[in-house]
Amino acid sequence: MTNWLLRMLIVLMCCAASAVMAAQQIDSVRMSKSPDATRIVFDLQAPLQHTVNKLGNPDRIVVDLDGAALNFDFSKLDLRNSPIREIRTGQHAADKVRVVLDLTSAQRPKTSMLAPSEGSGWRLVIDLLADLDPEDPPNQVATISKSPLGETLADFRPMVVALDPGHGGQDPGAIGPSGTREKDIVLQIGKRLADHINRQPGMRAVLVRTGDYYVPLADRRRIAADKYNADVFLSIHADAFTDSRAHGASVFALSHHGSTSARAGYLARIANDSDKVAGVYKEERENNSLLNVIADLTTSGSLTHSLVLGRMILEEMGQVTKLHGDRRKVEQAGFAVLKEPSMVSLLVETGFISNRTEEKNLRSSAHQEKMAKAIVGGLHKYFEMHPKPETYYALLRSRGGVRPATHKINSGETISSIARRYDISENSLREHNKLRGDKIRAGQVLRIPPG
């Protein structure tokens, strides 16, 4: 070998060594799993360019990391109960790493580069989401076999209620004075509520989150609507405020005219930041105009019915706990998790976890049971008044099994306000109660006609 060739080889080797030294060393990779998603996190010293490609035959995800050198043993990751069969890696160039995720089933990858926050450095997050085939029919919920009327109900389905315990996983939610985490409390309440709903012959509960893991806000709606074809979506939370004296339960619906109060707007901002706290990407569907979503909601009547159901749940909860501000009014704000036109959707704040007394109550099994029964009571009243065709409640009404709904008039209420409350016409309310005019009095009991 000539001196010239030797010098060139030394230069090339030095350049390669320099590139490797300049490449960012990746020596920490983490993985977490939930029933609907698997997350892989690459811990970085600085942001880097990357590409992610989904390939088929066989199903796999290919991740290319530019300006990086891998110094991590992927065999340390536990792939059990995940859609990943094997992880293969290779250094395709001095400063380019390829990571191949061989899958057991098709997955939808989502990636985001997260800036440092709360003690964490730069992170590349890859979420693998179960790929729902739009051509597949939605999961059907089992029908009810028997009713109190003694009939077989093969052709009548239950009303499906999707329960969404807020937060979870990396997002603890609010923290109480004694260290109680919101994500734990609302999961407990959600499971109790599901148990009580499933005892009802005309209802079926499904849980969006069943354990301590995080589900992105858009996917909570997607799971409820697409996977379970839910009629009602209830997001369960525990309130918090800087003033520890704040107390009381409340119910919220989506708004198309801004927030109905400063507190409603504040809670919506906190709730909508859950994805950021958990380090989750921004779902593309969130870029859609809120006005378009509201137009769909208004056209389908979901927003109107959300307000009706919310008032009924508030009335029932008011029998077992204090309501915030002693108000039985459903407040509204731009909650991202409620933007689903196909479902009646509400966010239920079960109390203030930041209030020491209510924190203690929220931890109490007895109090959780009371709250669950109250919410079921509101659902039952709503389903009786507004049964969907071909459901158990529709059959119950046709057989005369629905008890008459009544309303005790409060001071300041009018025929118009009561009709709006139950989504009925003023004329039907008058006719049902044989009223010749609009004169009513506080304490009077009105019979509410079927919706």
Q: Tell me the residue type at 248.
A: G
Q: What are phi and psi of 169, to 5 degrees?
A: 60, -125
pTM here is 0.71
Residue 397 near residue 450, CB atoms below 8 Å: yes
* Nearest residue to 214 via CA among 34, 14, 370, 369: 34
| Residue found under tokens 């669950």 | 372
Which two three-digit tokens encode residue 396? 């119950």
| Burial of 307 per CB tally in 10 Å (0-12, 13-18, 19+) | buried
Which two three-digit tokens encode residue 72? 């991590």
Residue 367 near residue 268, CB atoms below 8 Å: no
Residue 85 near residue 72, CB atoms below 8 Å: no
Which two three-digit tokens encode residue 306? 């959300």
* Nearest residue to 105 via CA among 131, 134, 77: 131
Q: What share of the chain is helix, strand, coil (3-state, %, to 5)?
A: 35, 30, 40
The domains of the chain are located at 18-130, 159-395, 404-448
Q: How far is CA 244 from CA 43, 154, 236, 347, 358, in A?
A: 37, 51, 21, 22, 10
Query: Tell me: domain 159-395, CATH 1.10.10.10, correct?
Result: no
> What pLDDT, on the 0 to 100 scale, is given for residue 443?
85
Q: Tell me the residue type at 250.
A: S
Residue 44 near residue 23, CB atoms below 8 Å: no
**Could you tell me the strand order of the sheet in which 232-239 lies?**
203-207, 159-165, 232-239, 344-352, 250-254, 331-333
> What pLDDT, on the 0 to 100 scale, is given for residue 185?
97
Residue 323 near residue 248, CB atoms below 8 Å: yes
C-alpha span between 385 and 404 (Å, rounded): 9
Which two three-digit tokens encode residue 392? 């158990």
Q: Tell me the residue type at 383.
A: F
Q: What are phi and psi of 152, to 5 degrees?
A: -80, 130
Residue 164 near residue 208, CB atoms below 8 Å: yes
> What pLDDT, on the 0 to 100 scale, is given for residue 388?
87
Q: Which residues pair with 142 in a beta bridge?
A: none
Give the DSSP H/E element, type plus range, for residue 316: helix 302-317
User: Hey, how many other C-beta atoms are within 10 angstroms of the C-beta on 173?
Assistant: 23
Query: Tell me: domain 404-448, CATH 3.10.350.10, correct?
Result: yes
C-alpha span between 263 and 284 (Å, rounded): 27
User: Hey, how many other C-beta atoms are within 10 angstroms of the C-beta on 388?
Assistant: 12
**Residue ranges with strand state E in 231-292:** 232-239, 250-254
C-alpha span between 416 and 426 (Å, rounded): 6
* Nearest residue to 311 via CA among 405, 383, 378: 378
Query: Tell me: domain 18-130, CATH 3.40.50.150, correct?
Result: no
Alpha helix segments (H runs only) across 136-288: 182-197, 217-222, 262-272, 274-278
Which two three-digit tokens encode residue 138? 């939605």
C-alpha span between 110 and 183 (Å, rounded): 24
Residue 281 near residue 347, CB atoms below 8 Å: no
* Nearest residue to 220 via CA among 129, 291, 141: 129
| Residue found under tokens 């709503």 | 382
Pairing of strands 96-103, 60-66: antiparallel
Per-residue pLDDT for the chain (451 aa), expressed as one digit of tens each? 555 555 555 545 544 444 444 678 888 999 888 777 888 999 998 888 989 999 989 999 999 999 898 889 999 999 988 999 999 998 877 778 999 999 999 998 988 888 887 667 888 889 898 765 444 444 444 444 444 444 444 557 899 999 999 999 888 999 999 999 999 999 999 999 999 999 988 899 999 999 988 888 888 988 999 889 999 999 999 999 888 999 999 999 998 777 878 888 888 888 888 877 666 655 444 444 555 555 565 545 788 889 999 999 999 999 999 999 877 789 988 888 888 888 999 999 999 999 999 999 999 999 999 999 999 999 999 998 888 888 888 887 777 656 667 778 888 888 888 887 777 888 888 888 888 888 888 888 888 886 5
C-alpha span between 112 and 107 (Å, rounded): 16
